[in-house]
Structure 1
Amino acid sequence: MAAPLPLPALHATHAGIWIAGRGEGEPREASRGEAIARAAESPHIILNAPLVGQRLGYPDLSGLDILELFAFVHPARFAVPTVAGMARAVGLQPPESEAGAAGLLRSVAAALLDDLEKPDWKEREGAWTSSQSLARMGWTWAPLIASRLERPERGERMLFSRLKQWEEVADRPPPRTVVVDPVRARDRLRDLAGSRSELRAGQAAMAEEAASVFAPRRQKDAPNMLLAEAGTGIGKTLAYLAPASLWSEAAGGTVWVSTFTKALQRQLDAEGPRLVADPGERARRIVVRKGRENYLCLLNLEDALQGAFAGRAAILAQLVGRWAAYSKDGDMVGGDLPGWLPSLFRRAGATALTDRRGECVYAGCPHYRRCFIERAERAGREADIVIANHALVMINAARAREDAPQRIVFDEGHHLFDAADSTFAVTFGGQDAIEMRRWIVGPEGKSRGRRRGLSARLMDVASYDDEGASALDAAVEAARALPSDGWLQRIIEGSPFGPVEALLGEVRGMVYARAKAQDAGYGLETELAEPDGALVAAAIKAMEGLEALQKPLAALGRRLEAVLEDAPDWLDSQARARVEGAINGVSWRREIIAAWVALLARVGGSADPEFVDWLAIERVEGREYDVAIHRRWLDPTKPLASAVLKPAHGVLITSATLRGGDGSWDRAEARTGAAHLDSSVGRFEADSPFDYAGCSEVLIVTDVKPGDAAALAGAYARLIEAARGGTLGLFTAIQRLKTVHSRIADRLARAGLPLLAQHVDPIDAGTLVDIFRDDPRASLLGTDALRDGVDVPGESLRLVVMERVPWPRPTVLHGARRMAGGGSAYDDAVVRARLAQAFGRLIRREGDRGTFVILSAAMPSRLLSAFPTGVPIRRVPLDEAIAHVAATAAGTHLPAAAPEAVG
């Protein structure tokens, strides 16, 4: 083992603060004041500076962050960002105590620095050049790294020259017409599962049934469609991959497998070796696809590396540059970039490294041939299996993209309604309008960075055509009437600039006049009904301004299309790709503006029964950040069925809770869009193989008073202590989560039970789940994002606690859907679905055991059908619930009263 680095180290948790000083012997406990003073005086080795700074109440804490060093030494490599996780990553034993963790930080740092001198260090190329740049920026690790890196005899290649280029290939021919034999699907499933695995009856039956999805379509707008509810533990992933892989091989076509969560995307990607053993072949045949905004933009990175970023953001850019050279696919959100890396820099600069603004210049970019986004799109066209997400599938289909999928498997299908609701929504607000202005006009005033307006991106193309240049100038001039920086303050002060800001000022006034007071954590809203004259007049003026912008954009689009048709001498393949990209970008913005115009026409007109429209002030903890008019489909599965399902040839929609916990196939068809198809839809169900009655129970606590924060926090603390950690706490309100965490985190930490919290800890949700999964004594508090898609099997999750019945929040949108969906019956269906999803976190693998607790005596018996058949459900006081949890944690069982009958 490497000798500990002779530098001081600082470790801080909710349990206390420990310092391992230079030459001070064993680590010792310190006060907050001493720790802050020492850290300010000289750099200490720490792990996760923002988190430690939060623990100390010193947000500006900086030092020698182990995580930054790990990101430099081993870019694109996964490690849990805890002392124990870092220790295992470098081959050391995790610490036995918090005090030991402080001392171990020095050994971890020494081991990482020693890796730099090992002859088999795989990430050597580019390290010396990057370290020199980081040294000039004053990065604290740079001197220690420089002492261990020798200057290469030959100069290192630039990052961008080391990246793999993609090649142009001919378009893939249409897939052949084939039929997948159900028996062959079962045989393929057996191959995928492995000879030592025994096929589950439900899994085999699902593979055979799913084969029908890949049969030739019988008529237009009538896809072969199957709804499949497969309980947890069935193994539905391999069940649908078996026929999907058979079809793709025989037909030479692509199957898109779509998920709602990044966690399932990673899980599906991990199944790749079962389908294709050879890594090179697997990379060609199985591709992960996401939206453009998820990938690193190399042009943005180049600008950042050349000085567009300053301070900590510049250091992040260098570390991202190190990662880019070793990344599998350049995915910055959920890919192999450590999720914790951007949070170390408080996200300074991270979003600016992706193409979130849609400013891509396509073939006009010097890195076009190495672009991660272009590579992923092209790889997806040639792949057998594309692993994507619901939003990307819907957007590609809605925009009639050439790679819109024809064979689709929607896993996590119970989220299709929500995904469609978001994808087909229209929002016209200050933030949306200012982004449109920036995309067209470009940087103004003192703004910095690579942002370029439409003129800068297209002037050389438009210069060949006077009419195109005139349209471009007119579009830029019209866009100047949209909101600009400082718009919100101007409308608050009553001095708006331009017709759109004037409209938003009227919207804000009406919301405050009509909205009911709500929790500080939420915004304010009111339905768009009976608008006053001032609002109608302002909407007409704003609509005229948007129409004035639409016309030159339409003219510009026509001129760009004419360039492709006339094909001048300078229009080579790269220039053609650039013009095509510009046409797509302009068309997309025109569609957005057209939707805004249609929404504003509604302000002074009659309501459309297909839509729900409302006015809102968006707030975070009481602070305003946007004012907007919203439009949602009353039933978003209508555009889903029209744009995605009907054009497809085969669709499989599957989930463990597809019917929402109430067993209704009608609900499943309504929530997935199947109800809007004229053709018949297949149904399949397979119950979970788990013995829920023997391995789980549901406890409804009857004596925790609603609204009593102290009682709620005390209940959580006692339950977590009884379970000895391993608890997932689910909240319906962020403020209550924060209140509970603040009251119990120190108490639990002193008992050796770490408490993690979404919306509290400066760590992304995915990384919080990684830490929770890694430590069986840890517990995690979260909201909706953790109610579904979290896969934590085994000892790390043995108790789920919900703080109350998860009733829908009474918004304008919910009110409209509730009225259309049957009133209280609609609410009940929503709650049953949420309960079923939350309970699904508890038992993930054979051998898991656990307890599900609801801290609300107001839990109606009619909703208990959300839980699996046979699960004991009991109403008990808190003390008895704690005794049950403790007995389960100890591996024993308490005698109990008869379970409640499900109403």
Structure 2
Amino acid sequence: MTTLPYPALHASHSGTWIATPGGDCRAIGRGEAIRIAADTPVILLNAPLVGQRLGHPELSGLDVLELWAFLRPARFMVPTPRGLARAAGIDPPASDAEIAPFLRRAAEALLAMAEGPWPEREGAWNAAQSLARLRWPWAAAVSQRLGRPEQAERWLFSKLPEWEERAPRPAPRTVTLGEDQVAARLDSLTGAGAERREGQRAYAQAAAAAFEPRRMRDAPNLVLAEAGTGIGKTLGYLAPASLWAAEAGGAVWISTFTKALQRQLSQESERLFPDPEQRKRRIVTRKGRENYVCLLNLEDALQGGFAGRAAVLAQLAARWAAYTADGDMVGGDLPGWLPVLFRRNGSTALTDRRGECIYAGCPHYRKCFIERASRASADADIVIANHALVMVNAARGREANSRPARYVFDEGHHLFDAADAIFAAALTGQEAIEIRRWITGPEGTSRGRRRGLAARLSDVASYDAEGGEAIAAAVAAARQLPSDQWLQRLAEGQPFGPVEALLAAVRGLVYARDEGEDAGYGLETELAEPDAALVEAAGPAGEALDALLRPMIVLGRRLEALLTDGPDWMDGPARARIEGAIASLGWRADTVGAWLSLIARIGGPADPKFVDWLAVDRVEGREYDVGLHRHWLDPSRPLADVVLKPAHGALVTSATLRAGGDWEVAEARTGAAHLPLPAMRFEAPSPFDYAANSEVIIVTDVKRGDLAALANAYARLIVAAGGGTLGLFTAIRRLRSVHARVADRLAREGLPLYAQHVDPIDTGTLVDIFRDDPRASLLGTDALRDGVDVPGDSLRLVVMEGVPWPKPGVLHAARRLAGGGGAYDDRIVRARMAQAFGRLIRRAGDRGAFVLLSAACPSRLLSAFPAGTPVSRVPLDEAVARIRLSLDTSLRQEAPAGVRGSG
């Protein structure tokens, strides 16, 4: 087979190189690289990233990542030269200068795979022909090596299996777990040869209390367990959870906050059920509907609904859908970098983000990934979910008959924030236009598969005249909500309709009152003493929303009556479709009802249970939303009422559960304070020797606000550590500024630097890249403070730009006042610092340092760190020397005899 006739291009912060088909490789300038890429198809690795490095974001070519996604759908690969080398089975390049010729070799190695049988061979020929019609750059090379198959290939929708209806699961039996049983199950999970850890055994026994029989209604057995890193929490609670599931015949829902922990749980579950088929039945991962590919949307995209590059993405997504384990496009086995390669053009349209599912009316209903996961979880022993899904299901889920009786909330310190987001209300332009689209469907020149209420329900609602009239009334009322170009009309002072008029008044009052110094980001002000314009706009807006809510309620009641009547034509799928429509209608009716309550607050008395404010949301000076907001002052109250009280038992656990305070803080933030029976408390300190293996260094001579000094500090510390650094920021603007100043400097030292909000790479993939390369460093914000699990040498230094004080705002001010003033702020800061420090030591044998670039860090906050951790305040020069010495000592201790000292 002939070699690829294309050059390969590589660009990094240290330079740009081109490798020709003839074997020559040379360094070139950015301008020449852009010209070559524009004139000649070039082989690239991550085109958006290369384009950013060259200052040409629209750069395109033969991206090796797209080739991998075609050949090995649903297979993981770190999108770096090192990761590509592993995937292709060839040696990795030793330097940046060797990467361009390496890309040609790697592409040849991947294409060679297509010349013979491989697990994902079926469907590749047809997909290649479709991609050729779309002018996909790899299509010709792939087709040449594939060859036409001897037998016709099954298409995606004929290949996918169908789920089956099953009888409802009976209620769990009442059982009591013995201490010996729990201990035996833990021993079986840890393995016969494992070291006995007393802290883990005590933790497992404490967790078992959450599975005792409930003693009274609305009073679950609640266990609050703070267990330090290294205790072995996952297996500690899996022991009683799996034992109870087997004995009682019920499901335990394990809820997490981060995708990283979900992946870890999936890996640990192999200990419970080593057989893959059994594990697939007994342990199910559940996420929100918007995470899964919608087969109807995908079919529409494949049949012409998408154009250009988005159509190429649809074909690659179809290849993936044929081999995926669960259809999860967000954090599942779809490579996180794939949608980013297409600038996310079209990826969100492949999921059900607008809640327009037609359930049994869909031709792919019996093969739907969402429905399959729902049914699988009803029969599972363990369901791995997330805090948001648990709360949404409890508040308005369709699965009321199979609501969990037992929960484990891992990463429990995030429950307060998750409840704060789920139980909030916001009457904004973006939210209103979504409901309008959900009800009316396509309007004007809008394209796509969007279906309005009439298209989804007219056939079943026409069972009686009242249902059809309710749909017509809802559609007419929805046309009073904001529509396309609403933001432009507000800026021009020309709102259309009563709700846009209300938003215009909100916008005007926010700009009049906000005193924020940051001209680039969002503005807000209290909903107090509204001006005349806002009060006058509230009445007509309330009437318009009331006119929308009434027919929605009528339609919901008519559909419920239809279920009760059970006409002859209503089979199982039709019933499921109507039940889904009722749930969806109820959700949106609740939303509109919350909007009416928020409008009623304008000019009226404040409700002490809530915090209300007005906001103009902006990014770098560009407005993207305007509206009224309502949050619970204490969101743990609805958490307790909606989620905890109906349950029989729950374990809430975390390494930082008390948020830097006492047990009363943990009880207040988890909902325990609102339950009739007290929670059981358990505490187990980390077994790690923090005094010997870690230190906290507070740098005293980096002046706050001096970006040049801040960047210099980051660069020197990263160089001293030889990479392996996680840099945490409280502001995206400072992160970007520091990255721009230090990236080239570090590249010259051979130290790759990646950054959230800078590199066109999703956060999960950034962490994968960071974990895979011990010399790489990663800069990020809050998502990296909690969601990073990088054990070993890849993370040996954490640098935080300053004390992570909470951002001032209306909501924070109200909670600060109610929570003790400065003590409330201190609890938040200590929790954030503890979580950031927790990234450092993940496994026995890990070593590292935590550096805080803040001379003004109060001593009272240092209790955030584990007892015994050395803390010192030193100038930057001494901090750099300590990091270098610590790393050198660590390497000497880890190196085998005779390795070091050879020059």
TM interval, short-chain normalised: over 0.9
Matched residues in 2 for 1:271 and 1:163: separation? 28
Query: Cα distance, 1:115 vs. partner?
Result: 0.7
1:286 equivalent to 2:283? Answer yes
Alpha-carbon deviation of 1:154?
2.5
Q: Which residue of 1 aligns with 2:743?
A: 745
Paired residues for 1:162-311 under 5 Å: 162-311=159-308
Q: Residue type matched to 1:357 in 2?
A: R
d(CA) in 1 for partners of 2:889, 2:331: 36
Return the offset for 1:521: 4.8
Contact 1:126 1:322 survives alignment (8 Å): yes
Offset at residue 520 of structure 1 (A): 4.2
What residue in structure 2 maps to residue 796 of structure 1?
Answer: 794
Q: Which residue of 2 aligns with 1:819?
A: 817
Asked if the contact 1:227–1:681 (Cα under 8 Å) also holds between the matched residues in 2, the reply is yes
User: What is the CA deviation profile of residues 627-676 of structure 1, one whole-angstrom value per residue up to 9, with x for unaligned ones?
Assistant: 010000000000000101111101000001111234x1111111111111
Aligned position for 2:537: 538
Match of 1:614, SS?
A: strand
Q: In the TM superposition, what are the counterparts of 1:551-700 in structure 2 within 5 Å? A: 551-662=550-661, 664-700=662-698
2:897 matched residue in structure 1: none
Tell me the CA shift for residue 576 of structure 1: 1.1
Report if the CA contact (8 A) 1:182-1:209 is conserved.
Answer: no
Match of 2:700 among 682, 699, 702: 702
**2:609 & 2:553 partners in 1: Cα distance?**
28
Question: Who is 1:726 aligned against?
Answer: 724
CA deviation profile, 1:92-138 (whole Å, cap 9, x unmatched)? 1211011111111011111111111123x000111111111000000
Separation of aligned partners in 2, 1:729 and 1:762: 18
Deviation track 1:178-232 (CA, whole Å, cap 9, x = no partner) reads 1111221111111101112112111011111111111110010111110001100
- Is the Cα contact below 8 Å between 2:520 and 2:620 reproduced in 1? yes
1:383-437 deviation per Cα after TM superposition (whole angstroms, max 9, x unaligned): 0000000011111111264133210000000000000000101011000000000
Q: Of 51, 72, 83, which residue of structure 1 is paired with 2:49?
A: 51
Give the AA of the match of 1:284: R
CA contact (8 A) 2:17 2:26 kept: yes
Greater alpha carbon shift after TM alignment, 520-529 vs 427-436:
520-529
1:92: which partner in 2? 90
Counterpart CA distance in 2 for 1:682 and 1:562 is: 45
Is the contact made by 1:524 and 1:618 (CA closer than 8 Å) also made in structure 2?
yes
Amino acid at match of 1:582: A
CA distances 1:803-825 after superposition (whole Å, capped 9, x unpaired): 01000011110000000001001
Residue 899 (structure 2) aligns with? none
Candidates 873, 880, 896, aligned match of 1:875:
873
Partner of 2:340: 343
What is the one-letter code of the residue matched to 2:617?
Answer: E
Shift of 1:26: 3.8
Conserved 8 A contact 1:17-1:31: yes
Q: Give the SS at the match of 1:148.
A: helix
Hey, what's the Cα distance between the residues in 2 that align with 1:214 and 1:738? 48
Q: 2:519 and 2:231 mapped to 1: Cα distance?
A: 43
Letter in 2 for 1:758: Q
Would you say the 8 A contact 1:520–1:620 is kept in 2? Answer: no
Evaluate the alpha carbon distance shift between residue 892 and residue 79 of structure 1 in structure 2; reply closer, same or farther with a 3 A threshold. closer
Contact residue 411 and residue 653 of structure 1 kept, 8 A: yes
2:495 paired residue number = 496
Residue 366 of structure 1 aligns with which residue? 363
The 1-side partners of 2:270 and 2:314 are apart by 33
Answer yes or no: is the 8 Å Cα contact 2:298–2:350 preserved in 1: yes
| TM-score normalised by structure 1 residue count | 0.98
Q: How many residues align?
A: 890
2:102 partner SS: helix
Secondary structure at the counterpart of residue 528 of structure 2: coil
Higher mean C-alpha displacement, 169-178 vs 85-94 = 85-94
Structure 2 contact 16–27 (Cα < 8 Å) conserved: yes
Residue in 2 that maps onto 1:102: 100
Distance, in Å, in 2 between the alignment partners of 1:706 and 1:135 is 55
The answer to whether the Cα contact below 8 Å between 2:179 and 2:205 also exists between their aligned partners in 1 is yes
Distance 2:640 2:143 in 1: 59
TM-superposed deviation, 1:585: 1.1
Decide which of 876, 883, 888 is 1:885's aligned counterpart. Answer: 883
Question: In structure 2, how many angstroms separate the alpha carbons of the residues matched to 1:240 and 1:640?
Answer: 22
Amino acid at match of 1:503: L
Residue 380 (structure 1) aligns with: 377
Amino acid at match of 2:228: G
Q: Is the 8 A contact 1:340 1:763 kept in 2?
A: yes
CA contact (8 A) 1:215 1:650 kept: yes
Distance 1:458 1:152 in 2: 43
Q: CA deviation at 1:6?
A: 4.1
Q: Percent identity?
A: 70
Is the 8 Å Cα contact of residues 616 and 627 (structure 1) preserved in structure 2?
yes
Amino acid at match of 2:834: A
Deviations 1:21-53 (A, max 9, x none): 122x34211100110111101110001111000
Tell me the residue number matched to 2:134: 137
Task: Find the residue that maps to 1:271 and give its secondary structure.
Answer: helix
4+ aligned runs moved over 4 Å, structure 1? none
- Asked if the contact 1:406/1:647 (under 8 Å) is kept, the reply is yes
Aligned 8 A contact 1:409 1:653 in 2: yes
3-state SS of the aligned residue for 1:329? coil
Aligned residue for 2:416?
A: 417
What CA deviation, in whole Å up to 9, does each residue of 1:764-819 have, x standing for no partner?
Answer: 11100000000000000000110012100111000000001000011110000000
1:71 matched to 2:75? no
Gaps in structure 1 of 5+ consecutive residues = 895-903
Decide whether the 8 Å contact of 1:179 with 1:216 is kept in 2: yes
Matched, 1:61 2:59: yes
1:442 counterpart residue number: 441
Cα distance in 2 for partners of 1:583, 1:661 equals: 44
Tell me, in whole angstroms, the C-alpha distance in 1 between the residues paired with 2:764 and 2:151: 41
**2:475 maps to which residue?**
476
TM value normalised by structure 2: 0.98
Amino acid at match of 1:542: A
3-state SS in 2 of match to 1:327: coil
Amino acid at match of 1:411: D
Measured after TM superposition, the shift of residue 260 of structure 1 is 0.3
Give the partner amino acid of 1:145.
Answer: V
Q: Does 1:148 align with 2:148?
A: no
Give the AA of the match of 1:551: R
CA contact 1:521–1:735 (8 Å) conserved in 2: no
Q: Which sections of structure 2, spanning at least 5 residues, go unmatched?
A: 893-903
CA distance in 2, matches of 1:574, 1:310: 33
Corresponding residue of 2:20: 21
User: In the alignment, residue 862 of structure 2 is paired with which amino acid?
Assistant: L
Per-residue Cα deviation, 1:489-513 (whole angstroms, up to 9, x for no partner): 0011011000000000000000000
Give 2:189's aligned amino acid.
L
The 1:656/1:300 distance shift into structure 2, 3 A limit, reads: same
CA–CA separation in structure 1 for the residues paired with 2:366 and 2:519: 49
Indicate the residue corresponding to 1:899 in structure 2: none
Paired amino acid for 1:113: L
| Distance of aligned partners of 1:521 and 1:339 in 2 relative to their CA distance in 1, 3 Å threshold | farther
Range moving further from structure 2, 326-335 or 565-574: 565-574
Tell me how far 1:7 sits from its aligned partner: 2.2
Q: Distance in 2 between the 1:97 and 1:26 partners?
A: 16
CA distance in 1, matches of 2:746, 2:457: 59
* Equivalent pair of 2:356/2:438 in contact (CA under 8 Å): yes
Give the distance between the partners of 1:386 and 1:701, measured in 2 at CA: 45
